[in-house]
Amino acid sequence: MRRLTRFLRLGAILLIVFCVSSFFFYRRAKQKQNLAKQKQNLTKPKRDQSTLLFLTPAVLNQQLPKTALITFAGQKVDDEELRHGKLVLALMMPDCKPCDQENEFLKTVVNSRPDVPFRYIIPFGRQDVLLKSAQGKYALEAAYDEGSNLSKTLEVNEVPIEVFVVDGVIKRVWTEGNDTPEKQAKFKNWLRDL
């Protein structure tokens, strides 16, 4: 009888361990699948939006959401830094080919408006992996949007995107990308008119 009770206990423990490990395995597989879908959405070729310069009209003239930006060094960027004066936020991902093209182009134009600072933002994904792969890649230091508040508010599903902010208020959003000389000229005009 004792032996049967021992086997039943052992069987119950093994069943619990199996169920718990299956749950965590399934959850991790779902997370990987969702991350792969996000990556796939980011690298889709952009549609030609030659007349569409704004992401969602609903976000224009809205207050920039509270953000928790983390730098390469692991330091938090003071949210108040984003709420004074003019600022361009460039949302990019380090493993995105259109973002690489955008970064190369932005390196040439960042200095054309010294009165408007640029800040590169990695909108979502695994913070540790993305910050490490972005280090040294961008013309300016990049920061990770912890909690993805910015990308959720802007309903970001494609990058690159540039967001023009004045005193913490979203004024304009550029979603065209800068992969052709025509778009680059339009962006330079867009930047000049800020």
What is the identity of the amino acid at 87?
Answer: L
Q: Angle formed by the axes of helices 97-109 and 181-192, to 10°? A: 50
Residue 103, pLDDT above cutoff 80: yes
- What gap in Å lies between CA 173 and CA 161, rounded to an integer? 7
Residue 184, pLDDT above cutoff 80: yes
* pLDDT of res. 51: 30
Q: Under a CB-based contact definition with an 8 Å cutoff, are residues 48 and 168 in contact?
A: no
- What gap in Å lies between CA 111 and CA 118, rounded to an integer? 9
- What gap in Å lies between CA 137 and CA 95, rounded to an integer? 10
* Band (172; pLDDT cuts 50, 70, 90): confident
Scan for tokens 């004045």, then name that residue: 166
* pLDDT of res. 46: 44
Scan for tokens 């299956």, then name that residue: 22
**Omega before 181 cis (within 30°)?**
no
Of these ranges, 52-56, 128-132, 170-174, the one predicted with the greatest mean pLDDT is 170-174
* pLDDT of res. 167: 92
* 23-74 per-position pLDDT tens digit: 877 778 877 777 766 665 544 444 433 333 334 556 788 888 888 888 877 8
In the 8-state DSSP scheme, what is residue 110? G
Percent of the chain scoring above 90 in pLDDT: 1
